[in-house]
Chains A and B, each alone.
Chain A
Amino acid sequence: MKKFTKAIIFFLAVVAPLLIVTVALRKPAPDHAQLEKLRAQYPARHQSGVDHSKMEILQQDFKNPHQITEACLSCHTERGMELLHSSHFTWEREAFIPGRGVTYLGKKNLLNNYCTGVQSNEGSCMKCHAGYGWNDKAFDFTNQLNIDCVVCHDNTGTYAKATGGGGYPVMGEGGPDYKKILGSMGLPKSENCGNCHFLGGGGNNVKHGDLEMALLKAGRNVDVHMGVDGAHMNCVDCHSAENHQMKGRYYGVSSTNDQRMSCEECHTAFPHQKSILNEHSIKVACQTCHIPVYAKVNPTKMYWDWSTATRKKDGKGFEEKDAEGNVTYASIKGDFIWQKNVEPEYTWFNGTADHLLLTDKIDTTQAFVKINTLNGAYRDRNSKIIPMKVHRGKQPYDSKNLTIIQTKLWDKEKGKGALWLDLEWERAIVEGMKYVDMPYSGQHGFVATEMYMPVNHMVSVSSEALSCKECHTREEGRLATLTDFYMPGRDRNEWLDLGGKLVLLGSLFGIVVHAAIRIMASRRRKLAQQHKA
């Protein structure tokens, strides 16, 4: 009996704590079963059921691009109708926005703080429109023959639209080799998407920061999905489409929480081994931790100041470049600031957004006028923290009417008021505002604006994901600006901490004083005893 008791005590005192410590410090081996499945799934290349080079109708000599569309639609009879309802063609979406009602907004009519907007500049901007001939308001959005099928489905990588051609390709001599191109037609490649989406804002990586030409050749260290030494995925592997409705939203132009692309579709909502990380996913988007920096290869534009545009040297416009060859000043555009390996800014986002319209009055007392607003808050059940690129700048506004100005930037020829050709603000503003039917008071200024663009690409390898301390830290953490909730490690009540410290110091002080008196009293007693003796 005694031995048994001793054995139990020994177990409780020695073995049990050892067991607990061992179990506690054990690190589970990472389970990559899910990832293995995904890896097996995605490298499989799409095998087309049709060889377009065997289609006689595609081997004819086309007189104009509209005839190509006609040939496509002769087999793909319903695809034209789909395209007429696709935002790649309409450049607008029907959306309900609280406070505005049903709106028809999109790249067609919205503002931004890069080139400020497409209106009055269609001839140039529509190089990226999936159509032919959008030069002005007269463009017919109901004519299926105005659709450009080739720009997205060319698999040779040789089709190119003309500069300033309103969406038409180069015509006649030097035009595309249609026999070869049409024979290759198939699912869009990343190059097709990239020709517009990588070059937005007027050059490689200018606009998004996380979408650029380097993605076509970079490794997993830049983008874990598209990396050529990894799964080497295409844009459309994730941005799948049904009836030409692509999944994925860009909230510089979108407003509603639907048709979004999400990591969870492949990776599930709780993909981590550690439950404490999975719990984060309730309020933190995957991208927040897994995209620690963007613009990893080439710099992106972070700041664009239009107010300095139109300066001349020797009566002519000019450009200045920095040591890396980035244009830092251009007479036609103003001053730029470029950045590489940028840490995103963060915000709560529930998938809905609002936009500043040309007709909206702006509040110039704000530090920055918001070109778009991403809705969300800690207490909003649909909101998660997301990373975003914030593009700031100064752009022209009507200082009397307090509206943002649509400027005419481009024209085919000089003398029509286009800023980029004539380098004169007043006329460019008058022409731009006339085009959009907005009043112009005759007085313009430049107002600071900012635009919010969620960052979703350039996902890093898991070992580079953010560590706890990047956010759970007292000062200058990544989430320092999101103050509508309590985060352990970042937040505290300074009075409580001060009070706590005082209690501890007070206790120590009391102990020291008490002990000192005890020691002194005991010495005195000993001395007194010695005296007696």
Chain B
Amino acid sequence: MKKHKKVYVYQGFERFWHWNQALLIFILALTGFEIHSSYTFLGFETAVDIHNKAAWGFIILIIFAIFWHFTTGEWKQYIPTTKNLKAQAEFYLLGIFKNAPHPTEKTLISKLNPLQRLVYLGLKILMIPVMVISGLLFMFYRYPHGNEIEIINIDNLEIIALIHTAGAFAVIAFVLVHLYLITTGHTITSNLKAMISGWEDLEETEDENEVADKKENDHETK
């Protein structure tokens, strides 16, 4: 059996970003579906107010996250790959029930398995942009030829609203499945603990790059 070693997988900002994003998505969904009249909870006006402010918070967070991804090179984590893709899918559908080992090793330079890469990339370049853009249009669209505060003229809000609604359902579906898949780490709670503390038991590899990376990382965090 391979040796395990505690590795600092998720850095401070990464965790800050992750949990704030989680909180904001929760708030946005809660208030968003109240605005959609799916239920009454905070009151329509308060819901709109909070939804709009949380939206700005989300946008600011995204800007910081994009900056972080590019300056740290972490964006490379999301480059899609077909290597192990089939094996990974088979693991979730079959292997996991037989206590088979994870087909993709989690390492510092490759934290994500091929399925995660695909889904998170889709979230980043499709779902979130769709929600942000349709949300901004929702905020800034103006009825046809509105007077002084005319910014964007859109004849019909309907298409924007429907895209925003569809996106909301998709994001919530993602969150549900994501919450469940947290439990599919080495142990039920290992993924959750890692995202909270940053530290995770990873299998040791002889990959030189990683060793170097780890040293650097250790140096930083000590």
Which of B74-82, B173-181, B202-210 lies at the binding interface? B173-181
Do residues A24 and B50 form an inter-chain contact, with CB atoms below 8 A?
yes
Q: Are B144 and A486 in contact (CB under 8 A)?
A: no
**Of the residues B45, B144, B147, B177, contact of A468 by C-beta under 8 Å:** B45
The smallest C-beta distance from A280 to any residue of chain B, in angstroms, reads 10
| Chain B residues in 8 Å Cβ range of A510 | 177
Contact bitstring A463-483, B, C-beta under 8 A = 1, else 0: 000011100111000000000
The one of B161, B168, B176 in contact with A511, judged by C-beta atoms closer than 8 angstroms, is B176
CB within 8 Å: A-B pair count:
110
Q: Are A496 and B162 closer than 8 Å at their CB atoms? A: yes
In the complex, the chain B residue whose C-beta lies closest to that of A515 is B180
Q: Is the CB of B165 within 8 A of A511?
A: no
When the two chains form the complex, which single residue of A282, A467, A500 contacts B143, counting CB atoms closer than 8 Å? Answer: A282
Partner of A518, one of B49, B96, B161, B172: B96
Taken together as a complex, chains A and B put the C-alpha atoms of A470 and B194 apart, in Å, by 48
B20 & A17 in contact (Cβ 8 Å cutoff): yes
Min CB distance A380 to B, Å, is 8
Determine, out of A30-38, A407-415, A501-509, the stretch whose residues face the partner at the interface: A501-509
Mask of B144-173 contacts with A, CB within 8 angstroms, 1/0: 111111000001111001100110111011
Given contacts A507-B173, A507-B176, A511-B176, contact A496 B166 (CB under 8 A): yes
Main secondary structure on chain B at its contact with chain A?
helix
Q: Which B residue sits closest to A8, measured CB to CB?
A: B12
**A497 touching B165 by the CB < 8 A rule?**
yes
B122 at the interface (CB under 8 A from A): no
B148→A269 contact, CB < 8 A: yes
Q: Is the CB of A12 within 8 A of B44?
A: no
Q: Are A508 and B98 in contact (CB under 8 A)?
A: no
Hey, which chain A residues are within 8 Å of B168, CB to CB?
Answer: 500
- Give every chain A residue within 8 A of B180 (Cβ-Cβ): 511, 514-515
- Residues of chain A lying within 8 A (CB to CB) of residue B92: 514
Q: Which residues of A contact B43 (CB under 8 A)?
A: 469
Contact check, B169 vs A282: say whether CB atoms are below 8 A apart.
Answer: no
Interface residues of A in 248-283 (CB under 8 A from B): 269-270, 276, 278-279, 282-283
Also in contact, A518 and B97, with CB within 8 A (given A24-B53, A469-B44, A486-B156): yes
**What is the chain A residue whose CB lies nearest that of B53?**
A24
Q: Is residue B35 within 8 Å, beta carbon to beta carbon, of the partner chain?
A: yes
A269 near B147: Cβ-Cβ < 8 Å: yes
- Output the nearest chain B residue to A512 by Cβ-Cβ distance: B180
| Docked complex Cα distance between A521 and B183 (Å) | 15
Determine whether the beta carbon of B156 is less than 8 Å from that of A500: no
| A142 CB within 8 Å of chain B | no
Q: From residue 182 to 201 of chain B, which have CB atoms closer than 8 A to chain A?
A: 183
Partner among A276, A468, A473, A492 whose Cβ is within 8 Å of the Cβ of B165: A492
Does A9 make an interface contact (CB < 8 A)?
A: yes
Find the A residue at minimum CB distance from B17. A12
Q: How far is the CA of A149 from the CA of B99 in the complex (A)?
A: 101
Q: Which residues of A contact B176 (CB under 8 A)?
A: 504, 507-508, 511
- Let me know if B97 and A504 touch, CB within 8 A: no
Question: Which of B44, B99, B166, B172 contacts A472, CB < 8 Å?
Answer: B44
CB-based nearest B residue for A278:
B149
Residues of A within 8 A of B35 (CB): 472, 488-489
- Tell yes or no: B36 within 8 A of A by CB: yes
Q: Is the CB of A468 within 8 A of B53?
A: no
A517 within 8 A of B: yes
Is the Cβ of A517 less than 8 Å from the Cβ of B97? yes
Most buried by B among A5, A474, A514: A514
Q: Are B37 and A472 in contact (CB under 8 A)?
A: yes
- Whether the Cβ atoms of A474 and B37 lie closer than 8 Å is yes
Residues of the A chain whose Cβ atoms lie less than 8 Å from the Cβ of B99:
521-522, 525
Min CB–CB distance B20 → chain A (angstroms) = 7
Q: A177 to chain B: closest CB distance in Å?
A: 53
**Contacting residues, chain A, for B98 (C-beta < 8 A):** 521
Chain A positions within 8 Å of B177 at CB level: 507, 510-511
- In the bound assembly, the distance between CA atoms of A508 and B146 in angstroms comes to 44
- Residues on B with beta carbons closer than 8 Å to the beta carbon of A473: 37
Report the separation of the CA atoms of residues A489 and B148 in the bound assembly, to the nearest whole angstrom: 26
Is B12 within 8 A of A486, CB to CB?
A: no
The answer to the question of A485 belonging to the interface, with a C-beta cut-off of 8 Å to chain B, is yes
With A and B bound together, what is the CA distance between A279 and B180 in angstroms? Answer: 42
Say whether A9 contacts B16, CB under 8 Å.
yes
Contacts of A12 in B (CB 8 A): 13, 16
**Residues of B contacting A381 in the complex (Cβ-Cβ under 8 angstroms):** 144-145
Closest to A511 in B: B180
In the bound complex, do residue B147 and residue A282 qualify as a contact, i.e. CB atoms below 8 Å apart? Answer: yes
A489 to B13, CA, bound (A): 37
Interface check A157, CB cutoff 8 A: no
Interface status of B214 (Cβ within 8 A of chain A): no
A9 engages B44 (CB within 8 Å) = no
| B29-52, CB < 8 A from A | 35-37, 43-45, 48-50, 52
Selected A-B contacts with CB under 8 Å, 6 pairs: A20-B57, A24-B57, A283-B143, A488-B35, A503-B169, A521-B99
- Residues of B whose CB lies within 8 Å of any CB of A are 12-13, 16, 20, 35-37, 43-45, 48-50, 52-54, 57, 92, 96-99, 142-149, 155-158, 161-162, 165-166, 168-170, 172-173, 176-177, 180, 183
| 9 nearest CB pairs, A to B | A500-B169, A381-B145, A486-B158, A521-B97, A468-B44, A282-B146, A24-B53, A486-B157, A511-B180
